[in-house]
Chain A
């Protein structure tokens, strides 16, 4: 199973990310988000960040997760390429993640795009044989 793929969209960036479980799907969605901006293979794991989120719906959790990453990218001036995610589902969905990456170095990091925000346009999560999330990014 490929981790994610990009679909054609005139003005913005649309992707689908896949996973055997919710954690893997959200991990691959995060990779798709950052690969839309930069070749993440050029990102070294120097620092780590932590994210804790909860939501009543899975879609809300996923939206908040990706939005949180955009927020961290912009306010920490950092780019990420490794995501260790733990998901718990009781009364509500809980996400605990450790994120690896480094501070942006314009000399080394070549950006293709800058993602402004995660949209809810055609934002879908589906589970068949595997989990799939579809996201449109505003760039």
Chain B
């Protein structure tokens, strides 16, 4: 039913399911295609039925079964006639990744890995029921919603230079705190400055391999260097914002006579009050997430400075992988404003785009692709090809292949911890069961996923980072 149109490009034709307005495109190798569940292809086809969708409903090489939209999905909608869908962003709004590069070499840090991970585990609260060391007031929460990482810097977390190295400068425009419910505030307030649980992590890594010396140097990376990766999002604030607006929008579909194949694809026309309200609230959650990662990065720096007084951890980049953005893209040689939904997908803009930080603008945007606990993470560089093929998007991780239930039946937390320890990786988590469900084997091999992105030319490989220590919720 699906057709190969090129190397690493497969098409889900119109007619795969009724109501498709555009075809689906799955960017995946033949080998990885075997790991894509039929349900994921159905989800790509379902998204293709939404009003105003442009070009293709897309899925990247890490694509797997999600709820509503597939994970690893990208869909863009015309400003006129298109829609916004909370399900196209997900509950963890602006779940994302930030990478800090240090002036430290692995050989001097490695003997202290256990101590550092224990300290980071204490410094950055994680897991179920964790509350932050911060006690923000309701007013400060509003400031976070509006100003994101900029607010955090004003409060003394991080430095001004960090801001330039965040997508949207860590502060997306269009926040409307009036659209954030009291419930979302109540969930968000005690959690600003917490990592969360599940697949979220804080990882100390070593640069193991450099693929592009010139770009690596410009990104501040060198072989044997220590980096720190932070993966988390907007916590309960984002989850509740999506829950609240999904409920409203799921009722609005009748009003706007939009026919959807799955209620999680509920959407409202761009320009409608429901869509505007959701977007204003979504931006609040996105800004909260940038502020959250900023605060966590600050505490991470404090831990390193305790043991290495000369330590410097600079921000390479911070990317969102669950978000909807208004972006200009070329369609039939004309620039058009589109609402691009990325659900488990990273922006990967090429050189010249104004959205790319000035320091990297001649190269392209840094693209951060985390591995799982035991597998490597990658730094890539966005390209023009991404703008041509995927609305400037790349994959966001390795992608799950095994359910959490099956993972727990197959592995125990202790086994996973022992296996990682055997590889020299120190892991600390609130509970071993959390490790079983995140065992490296439950994900696709990250190197194979990255290879597809590189071979397609969406983003090119710059450096490979391997984990030395991981702190998990």
Contacts and interface: CB of A to CB of B under 8 A. Distances in A.
A120 interface: yes
A28 to B, nearest CB: 18
B186 interface: yes
B82 interface: no
B403 A120 contact: no
B207 interface: no
A71 interface: yes
B90 A112 contact: no
Contacts of A104: 128-129
Main secondary structure of the interface of A (DSSP, over half): loop
A85 interface: no
A53 to B, nearest CB: 12
B129 A123 contact: no
B345 to A, nearest CB: 15
A12 interface: yes
Contacts, number: 122
B44 to A, nearest CB: 14
A10 B400 contact: yes
A113 B183 contact: no
B203 to A, nearest CB: 19
Interface stretch (B63-71, B105-113, B271-279, B299-307): B63-71
B65 A120 contact: no
Interface string A102-118: 00101000111110111
A120 B264 contact: yes
Contacts of B183: 71, 75
A139 B250 contact: no
Contact of A71 (B240, B402, B431): B240
A9 interface: yes
A12 B434 CA distance: 14
Interface of B: 37, 39, 64-68, 71, 87, 90-92, 127-129, 183, 186-187, 196-198, 236, 239-240, 242-243, 246-247, 250-251, 262-264, 266, 400-406, 408, 430-431, 433-434, 437, 473
